[in-house]
């Protein structure tokens, strides 16, 4: 990792109880174990793409209910097919945001993995040229709080958000679900501006801290293909009341893994 980014990340992350270090073994297995330890009754998978995250959870020990959300038509079809033989996994063809509305989503060329409701900035496009937008689709957007009763999101909710700069809106749309029903949150966080008006890591970490959540561990994400500079990482937050028991478990790690 570029030393400047390491310094920037540590200056932010140290305030929340973790630091950058070399990669630890099998972070996805640790995540699966953590989700189970939290007593999770349902995983809300926001930005499901083709269903890779849910499939990973199944491989790593989580057998409970999954509600996935993917607004782009092609990856939604792939995720629905992946979930077709899993009675506890449902895939919804709409986006989550701050309010109920319709919007134009920008479809990225990298199998729609970088698709976003926000314009992409040049830094992102330069770092991963295949991620540039190639089409648009009109999609429905719902606030999670408005469908919480329908989906039975009363307690034990683990929320994963991978929405390419739209994380703030998704969190806002959760309303009182955070912290009333949500026990853990996995957020994709940006170290540098990548999407127009998208929040940076520090803003979202402060938002979570204000609602009683602490960082349990983190995993590396998107890096510049040309320089190797880390641009995004995933942070896993848990409610403070769970932190003591998690700290003593094998799944716990206080480091941000890096390649």
What pLDDT, on a 0 to 100 scale, did the predictor assign at position 21?
46
Report yes or no on 120 lying in a domain. Answer: no
Report yes or no on 178 lying in a domain. Answer: yes
Domain count, the chain: 1
Report yes or no on 30 lying in a domain. Answer: yes
Domain CATH number, residue 26: 3.40.50.150
What pLDDT, on a 0 to 100 scale, did the predictor assign at position 254?
37
Kindly indicate the confidence band of residue 241, based on its pLDDT and cuts at 50, 70 and 90.
Answer: confident
Contacts of 87 (CB under 8 A, 6+ apart): none
Residue 33 lies in domain: 3-99+144-256
Q: What is the mean pLDDT of residues 134-153?
A: 98
Report yes or no on 27 lying in a domain. Answer: yes
Of the chain, the percentage scoring pLDDT greater than 90 comes to: 78
Report yes or no on 138 lying in a domain. Answer: no
Q: 12-71, pLDDT tens digit by residue?
A: 555 554 444 444 457 889 999 999 999 999 999 999 999 999 999 999 999 999 999 999
Report yes or no on 136 lying in a domain. Answer: no
Residue 167 vs residues 1, 74, 95, 170, 233: alpha-carbon distances, Å:
24, 22, 11, 5, 13
- Report the DSSP beta bridge partners of residue 89: 66
Report yes or no on 173 lying in a domain. Answer: yes
Report yes or no on 212 lying in a domain. Answer: yes
């Amino acid at each position: 990792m570029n030393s400047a980014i390491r310094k920037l990340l540590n200056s932010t992350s140290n305030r929340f109880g973790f630091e950058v270090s070399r990669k630890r073994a099998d972070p996805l297995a640790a995540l699966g174990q953590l989700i189970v330890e939290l007593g999770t009754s349902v995983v809300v998978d926001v930005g499901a793409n083709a269903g890779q995250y849910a499939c990973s959870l199944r491989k790593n020990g989580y057998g409970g209910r999954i509600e996935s959300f993917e607004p782009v038509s092609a990856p939604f079809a792939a995720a629905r097919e992946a979930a077709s033989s899993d009675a506890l996994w449902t895939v919804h063809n709409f986006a989550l945001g701050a309010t109920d509305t319709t919007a134009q989503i920008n479809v990225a060329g990298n199998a729609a993995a970088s698709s976003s409701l926000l314009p992409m900035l040049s830094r992102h496009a330069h770092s991963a040229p295949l991620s540039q937008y190639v089409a648009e689709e009109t999609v429905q957007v719902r606030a999670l709080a408005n469908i919480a009763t329908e989906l039975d999101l009363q307690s034990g909710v683990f929320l994963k958000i991978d929405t390419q700069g739209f994380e703030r809106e998704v969190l806002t749309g959760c309303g009182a679900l955070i912290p009333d029903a949500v026990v853990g949150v996995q957020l994709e966080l940006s170290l540098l501006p990548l999407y127009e008006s998208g929040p940076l890591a520090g803003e979202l970490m402060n938002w979570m801290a204000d609602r009683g959540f602490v960082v349990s561990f983190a995993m590396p994400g998107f890096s510049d293909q040309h320089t190797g500079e880390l641009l995004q990482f995933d942070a896993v937050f848990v409610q403070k009341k769970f932190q003591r028991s998690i700290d003593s478990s094998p799944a716990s790690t206080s480091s941000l893994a890096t390649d």
